Amino acid sequence: MTRAAQLAARWWNVPPQGQVSYLVGADPKLLKIALDPLPDSAPAVIQFRPGTGGPTGDQVALLLDQMDRAAVALFPRWLPGAERLDGSRSLGVPAVRELAAQVAARSHNFGPFLADLAERALCGRAGRSRFPAEVRGRGLARVIADAYDRESVALLIELPDGLSPAD
């Protein structure tokens, strides 16, 4: 296999990890084809198309709300043992919070955030939590990666017509 073919097979390693990269000239339709099916060693991919206009803070809140809904919908895949809970509030909530505390103790997850998310997921309540955007973003990315048994998450932002990366 040539070097170019090896790189093409592991396209997700080309952009630097942990920072924003703009894929110049990437055709969004072809990129979506390359993501389906997602290779086993690729990161989980979150696709986001921001609204046109509005402050950056509003766009971040919208993205985090979408990630939160995804995490709630993926429950209990990201919390080992939670599939055995029946969803009753009287017993289920303390149990799911304890499971979250156990997972957080042996991982990089922030315990209070994970417990809050697990409780809301058990009760079917997506939405904003009491944690700041930085905590939510990092925590939701970890949960989504765990749900798909991936090491990391890549955020694919498709710019609306008329916007550039500078906007």
Q: How confident is residue 89, by pLDDT bands cut at 50, 70 and 90?
A: low
Burial class (CB in 10 A: 0-12, 13-18, 19+), 14: exposed
Residue 93 DSSP one-character state: H
Rounded Cα–Cα distance for residues 150 and 159 (Å) = 25
Whether the CB-CB separation of 71 and 117 falls below 8 Å is answered with yes
For residue 156, give the nearest of 45, 70, 24, 36 by alpha carbon. Answer: 45
Per-residue pLDDT of 108-146, as tens digits, reads: 999 999 999 999 999 888 877 889 999 999 999 999 999
Read off the pTM: 0.83
Provide the residue ranges of all domains of the chain, joining segments of one domain with +.
27-157
Q: Which two tokens stand for residue 19?
A: 């920072």
Per-residue pLDDT of 8-66, as tens digits, reads: 566 667 777 777 777 777 777 887 787 888 888 888 888 888 877 778 888 889 999 99
Backbone phi and psi for residue 146, each to the nearest 5 degrees, phi listed first: -60, -40
